[in-house]
Amino acid sequence: MVAWLVSQIGHHAVQACNLIGDFALFLIRALLTLFTTKLKVSKLLNQMERIGVNSLLIVVLTGTFTGMVLALQSHIGFSRFGAEEFIGTVVALSMTRELGPVLTGLMVTGRAGSSIAAELGTMRITEQIDALKTLRIDTFQYLVVPRLLASIIVLPFLSLLSTLCGIIGGYVISVNVLGLNGDDYTSGISEYLELSDITGGLVKAAVFGLILAWVGAYKGYRTTGGARGVGLSTTKSVVLASIFILISNYFLATALF
Protein backbone atom coordinates (compact mmCIF):
# COMPACT_ATOMS: atom_id res chain seq x y z
CA MET A 1 0.00 0.00 0.00
CA VAL A 2 2.76 2.44 1.00
CA ALA A 3 4.84 1.45 -2.01
CA TRP A 4 1.85 2.02 -4.29
CA LEU A 5 1.20 5.42 -2.71
CA VAL A 6 4.83 6.47 -3.07
CA SER A 7 4.86 5.28 -6.68
CA GLN A 8 1.69 7.24 -7.46
CA ILE A 9 3.05 10.41 -5.86
CA GLY A 10 6.32 9.96 -7.75
CA HIS A 11 4.50 9.37 -11.02
CA HIS A 12 2.39 12.50 -10.63
CA ALA A 13 5.38 14.55 -9.52
CA VAL A 14 7.31 13.52 -12.63
CA GLN A 15 4.29 14.32 -14.80
CA ALA A 16 3.92 17.74 -13.19
CA CYS A 17 7.64 18.49 -13.68
CA ASN A 18 7.40 17.43 -17.33
CA LEU A 19 4.40 19.69 -17.84
CA ILE A 20 6.03 22.71 -16.19
CA GLY A 21 9.24 22.10 -18.16
CA ASP A 22 7.37 21.79 -21.45
CA PHE A 23 5.35 24.90 -20.63
CA ALA A 24 8.51 26.91 -19.92
CA LEU A 25 10.35 25.55 -22.97
CA PHE A 26 7.39 26.55 -25.14
CA LEU A 27 7.73 30.17 -24.00
CA ILE A 28 11.52 30.13 -24.34
CA ARG A 29 11.23 28.81 -27.90
CA ALA A 30 8.62 31.43 -28.73
CA LEU A 31 10.81 34.23 -27.34
CA LEU A 32 13.89 32.91 -29.14
CA THR A 33 11.89 32.81 -32.38
CA LEU A 34 10.68 36.36 -31.73
CA PHE A 35 14.21 37.70 -31.35
CA THR A 36 15.94 35.61 -34.02
CA THR A 37 13.51 35.65 -36.97
CA LYS A 38 11.90 38.38 -39.02
CA LEU A 39 8.32 39.01 -38.00
CA LYS A 40 5.68 39.60 -40.66
CA VAL A 41 4.02 42.91 -39.75
CA SER A 42 0.79 41.98 -41.56
CA LYS A 43 0.35 38.92 -39.34
CA LEU A 44 1.03 40.99 -36.23
CA LEU A 45 -1.51 43.64 -37.25
CA ASN A 46 -4.06 40.95 -38.04
CA GLN A 47 -3.67 39.44 -34.57
CA MET A 48 -3.75 42.88 -32.94
CA GLU A 49 -7.10 43.43 -34.60
CA ARG A 50 -8.43 40.05 -33.52
CA ILE A 51 -7.21 40.28 -29.93
CA GLY A 52 -7.46 44.05 -29.43
CA VAL A 53 -10.01 45.72 -31.66
CA ASN A 54 -12.50 42.86 -31.36
CA SER A 55 -12.27 43.03 -27.56
CA LEU A 56 -12.99 46.76 -27.36
CA LEU A 57 -16.69 46.46 -26.56
CA ILE A 58 -16.36 44.02 -23.65
CA VAL A 59 -13.46 46.01 -22.23
CA VAL A 60 -15.40 49.28 -22.42
CA LEU A 61 -18.48 47.72 -20.83
CA THR A 62 -16.49 46.02 -18.07
CA GLY A 63 -14.51 49.16 -17.25
CA THR A 64 -17.50 51.48 -17.29
CA PHE A 65 -19.75 49.40 -15.06
CA THR A 66 -16.92 48.55 -12.66
CA GLY A 67 -16.17 52.27 -12.24
CA MET A 68 -19.86 53.00 -11.75
CA VAL A 69 -20.36 50.36 -9.05
CA LEU A 70 -17.09 51.35 -7.39
CA ALA A 71 -18.32 54.95 -7.08
CA LEU A 72 -21.64 53.75 -5.72
CA GLN A 73 -20.10 51.46 -3.10
CA SER A 74 -17.41 53.98 -2.10
CA HIS A 75 -20.09 56.59 -1.52
CA ILE A 76 -21.87 54.31 0.95
CA GLY A 77 -18.72 54.02 3.04
CA PHE A 78 -17.28 57.52 2.64
CA SER A 79 -20.56 59.33 3.30
CA ARG A 80 -20.55 57.89 6.86
CA PHE A 81 -17.58 60.08 7.78
CA GLY A 82 -17.99 62.90 5.24
CA ALA A 83 -15.19 61.94 2.85
CA GLU A 84 -17.21 61.91 -0.39
CA GLU A 85 -14.63 64.09 -2.17
CA PHE A 86 -12.25 61.09 -2.15
CA ILE A 87 -14.54 58.94 -4.30
CA GLY A 88 -12.80 60.08 -7.49
CA THR A 89 -9.39 59.30 -6.02
CA VAL A 90 -10.45 55.83 -4.92
CA VAL A 91 -12.07 55.02 -8.26
CA ALA A 92 -9.07 56.30 -10.24
CA LEU A 93 -6.45 54.54 -8.09
CA SER A 94 -8.40 51.27 -8.00
CA MET A 95 -9.02 51.27 -11.72
CA THR A 96 -5.48 52.32 -12.69
CA ARG A 97 -3.53 50.06 -10.36
CA GLU A 98 -5.74 46.99 -10.08
CA LEU A 99 -9.17 46.70 -11.65
CA GLY A 100 -8.33 48.06 -15.10
CA PRO A 101 -5.46 45.67 -15.85
CA VAL A 102 -6.88 42.63 -14.01
CA LEU A 103 -10.41 42.83 -15.41
CA THR A 104 -9.05 43.51 -18.89
CA GLY A 105 -6.73 40.52 -18.57
CA LEU A 106 -9.54 38.25 -17.42
CA MET A 107 -12.04 39.45 -20.03
CA VAL A 108 -9.58 39.19 -22.91
CA THR A 109 -8.56 35.74 -21.66
CA GLY A 110 -12.19 34.66 -21.93
CA ARG A 111 -12.59 36.13 -25.39
CA ALA A 112 -9.23 36.00 -27.16
CA GLY A 113 -7.23 33.49 -25.05
CA SER A 114 -9.90 30.85 -25.56
CA SER A 115 -10.04 31.70 -29.25
CA ILE A 116 -6.26 31.21 -29.59
CA ALA A 117 -6.49 27.80 -27.88
CA ALA A 118 -9.48 26.70 -29.96
CA GLU A 119 -7.96 27.86 -33.25
CA LEU A 120 -4.56 26.26 -32.70
CA GLY A 121 -6.21 23.16 -31.22
CA THR A 122 -8.37 22.73 -34.31
CA MET A 123 -5.32 23.27 -36.51
CA ARG A 124 -3.51 20.59 -34.53
CA ILE A 125 -6.22 17.92 -34.76
CA THR A 126 -6.88 18.60 -38.46
CA GLU A 127 -3.13 18.20 -39.15
CA GLN A 128 -2.75 21.80 -40.35
CA ILE A 129 0.20 22.30 -37.96
CA ASP A 130 1.84 19.11 -39.26
CA ALA A 131 1.24 20.35 -42.80
CA LEU A 132 3.04 23.62 -42.01
CA LYS A 133 5.99 21.65 -40.62
CA THR A 134 6.27 19.49 -43.73
CA LEU A 135 6.21 22.67 -45.81
CA ARG A 136 9.22 23.90 -43.79
CA ILE A 137 7.30 26.75 -42.21
CA ASP A 138 8.38 27.59 -38.67
CA THR A 139 5.13 27.02 -36.79
CA PHE A 140 6.27 29.18 -33.88
CA GLN A 141 7.03 32.10 -36.17
CA TYR A 142 3.84 31.58 -38.16
CA LEU A 143 1.37 30.83 -35.37
CA VAL A 144 2.69 31.54 -31.88
CA VAL A 145 4.86 34.67 -32.06
CA PRO A 146 2.31 36.99 -33.77
CA ARG A 147 -0.34 36.09 -31.18
CA LEU A 148 2.06 36.47 -28.26
CA LEU A 149 3.44 39.83 -29.40
CA ALA A 150 0.03 41.20 -30.41
CA SER A 151 -1.38 40.33 -27.01
CA ILE A 152 1.54 41.97 -25.16
CA ILE A 153 1.11 45.14 -27.25
CA VAL A 154 -2.67 45.54 -27.15
CA LEU A 155 -3.38 44.65 -23.52
CA PRO A 156 -1.89 47.90 -22.09
CA PHE A 157 -4.03 49.93 -24.52
CA LEU A 158 -7.15 47.98 -23.61
CA SER A 159 -6.34 48.34 -19.93
CA LEU A 160 -5.89 52.10 -20.34
CA LEU A 161 -9.22 52.32 -22.11
CA SER A 162 -10.92 50.23 -19.44
CA THR A 163 -9.43 52.47 -16.75
CA LEU A 164 -10.60 55.65 -18.49
CA CYS A 165 -14.08 54.23 -18.95
CA GLY A 166 -14.15 53.26 -15.27
CA ILE A 167 -13.15 56.76 -14.16
CA ILE A 168 -15.74 58.33 -16.49
CA GLY A 169 -18.40 55.84 -15.31
CA GLY A 170 -17.57 56.73 -11.70
CA TYR A 171 -17.83 60.45 -12.56
CA VAL A 172 -21.25 60.00 -14.20
CA ILE A 173 -22.62 58.16 -11.17
CA SER A 174 -21.01 60.53 -8.66
CA VAL A 175 -22.33 63.67 -10.33
CA ASN A 176 -25.66 62.55 -11.81
CA VAL A 177 -26.84 59.92 -9.32
CA LEU A 178 -25.10 60.73 -6.04
CA GLY A 179 -25.28 64.52 -6.54
CA LEU A 180 -21.61 65.20 -5.80
CA ASN A 181 -19.57 68.10 -7.17
CA GLY A 182 -17.73 67.16 -10.39
CA ASP A 183 -14.73 69.31 -9.44
CA ASP A 184 -14.28 67.38 -6.18
CA TYR A 185 -14.17 64.17 -8.20
CA THR A 186 -11.57 65.36 -10.73
CA SER A 187 -9.41 67.42 -8.37
CA GLY A 188 -8.88 64.38 -6.14
CA ILE A 189 -7.69 62.42 -9.13
CA SER A 190 -5.22 65.08 -10.32
CA GLU A 191 -3.93 65.52 -6.80
CA TYR A 192 -3.32 61.90 -5.80
CA LEU A 193 -2.89 59.91 -9.02
CA GLU A 194 0.80 59.56 -9.92
CA LEU A 195 2.51 58.58 -13.13
CA SER A 196 3.91 55.44 -11.47
CA ASP A 197 0.31 54.29 -10.82
CA ILE A 198 -0.39 54.46 -14.54
CA THR A 199 2.89 52.89 -15.72
CA GLY A 200 2.57 50.14 -13.11
CA GLY A 201 -0.89 49.30 -14.40
CA LEU A 202 0.35 49.22 -17.98
CA VAL A 203 3.25 46.91 -17.12
CA LYS A 204 0.79 44.59 -15.38
CA ALA A 205 -1.45 44.56 -18.44
CA ALA A 206 1.46 43.70 -20.73
CA VAL A 207 2.40 40.77 -18.47
CA PHE A 208 -1.23 39.58 -18.45
CA GLY A 209 -1.19 39.80 -22.25
CA LEU A 210 1.87 37.56 -22.32
CA ILE A 211 0.23 35.08 -19.94
CA LEU A 212 -3.08 34.76 -21.78
CA ALA A 213 -1.47 34.31 -25.21
CA TRP A 214 1.21 31.94 -23.87
CA VAL A 215 -1.29 29.69 -22.09
CA GLY A 216 -3.79 29.80 -24.98
CA ALA A 217 -1.13 29.03 -27.59
CA TYR A 218 0.45 26.28 -25.48
CA LYS A 219 -2.83 24.54 -24.76
CA GLY A 220 -3.92 24.79 -28.39
CA TYR A 221 -0.58 23.69 -29.81
CA ARG A 222 -0.45 20.63 -27.56
CA THR A 223 -4.08 19.57 -28.16
CA THR A 224 -4.79 15.87 -28.58
CA GLY A 225 -7.98 13.84 -28.72
CA GLY A 226 -10.18 15.29 -31.46
CA ALA A 227 -13.07 17.70 -30.94
CA ARG A 228 -13.31 16.81 -27.24
CA GLY A 229 -9.62 17.63 -26.89
CA VAL A 230 -10.15 21.07 -28.44
CA GLY A 231 -12.96 21.74 -25.95
CA LEU A 232 -10.80 20.64 -23.02
CA SER A 233 -7.82 22.70 -24.19
CA THR A 234 -9.99 25.78 -24.54
CA THR A 235 -11.50 25.40 -21.08
CA LYS A 236 -8.15 24.63 -19.47
CA SER A 237 -6.50 27.59 -21.17
CA VAL A 238 -9.09 30.01 -19.77
CA VAL A 239 -8.96 28.54 -16.26
CA LEU A 240 -5.16 28.34 -16.15
CA ALA A 241 -4.57 31.80 -17.64
CA SER A 242 -7.10 33.36 -15.22
CA ILE A 243 -5.41 31.72 -12.24
CA PHE A 244 -1.94 32.75 -13.46
CA ILE A 245 -3.16 36.33 -13.96
CA LEU A 246 -4.59 36.54 -10.45
CA ILE A 247 -1.50 35.00 -8.84
CA SER A 248 0.96 37.08 -10.84
CA ASN A 249 -1.10 40.19 -10.04
CA TYR A 250 -0.19 39.86 -6.36
CA PHE A 251 3.54 39.55 -7.07
CA LEU A 252 3.46 42.35 -9.64
CA ALA A 253 1.64 44.63 -7.20
CA THR A 254 4.30 43.88 -4.60
CA ALA A 255 7.13 44.54 -7.02
CA LEU A 256 5.75 47.56 -8.89
CA PHE A 257 4.10 49.74 -6.25
Chain residues binding another protein by CB under 8 A are: 123, 126-128, 130-137, 142
Q: Which is nearer to another protein, 123 or 155 (CB)?
A: 123
Residue 218 to residue 214: CA distance in whole angstroms? 6
The minimum distance between CB 51 and another protein, in angstroms, equals 15
Q: Which is nearer to another protein, 133 or 228 (CB)?
A: 133
Q: Which is nearer to another protein, 44 or 198 (CB)?
A: 44
Q: Which is nearer to another protein, 134 or 254 (CB)?
A: 134
Which amino acid would we find at residue 192? Y
Q: Which is nearer to another protein, 79 or 126 (CB)?
A: 126
The minimum distance between CB 129 and another protein, in angstroms, equals 9
10 Å CB burial of residue 22 (0-12, 13-18, 19+) is exposed
Q: Which is nearer to another protein, 38 or 80 (CB)?
A: 38
The minimum distance between CB 233 and another protein, in angstroms, equals 17
CB 67 within 8 A of CB 165: yes
CB 230 within 8 A of CB 121: yes
CB 240 within 8 A of CB 219: yes
The minimum distance between CB 6 and another protein, in angstroms, equals 21
CB 253 within 8 A of CB 201: no
Q: Cα–Cα–Cα angle for 145, 160, 174, nearest 5°?
A: 155
C-alpha torsion angle, residues 84, 89, 91, 93 (rounded to 10) = -150
Q: Which is nearer to another protein, 80 or 136 (CB)?
A: 136
Across 177-192, b (16+ Cβ under 10 Å) vs e yields ebebeeebbbebbeee
Distances (CA, A) of 79 to 139, 173, 180: 58, 15, 11
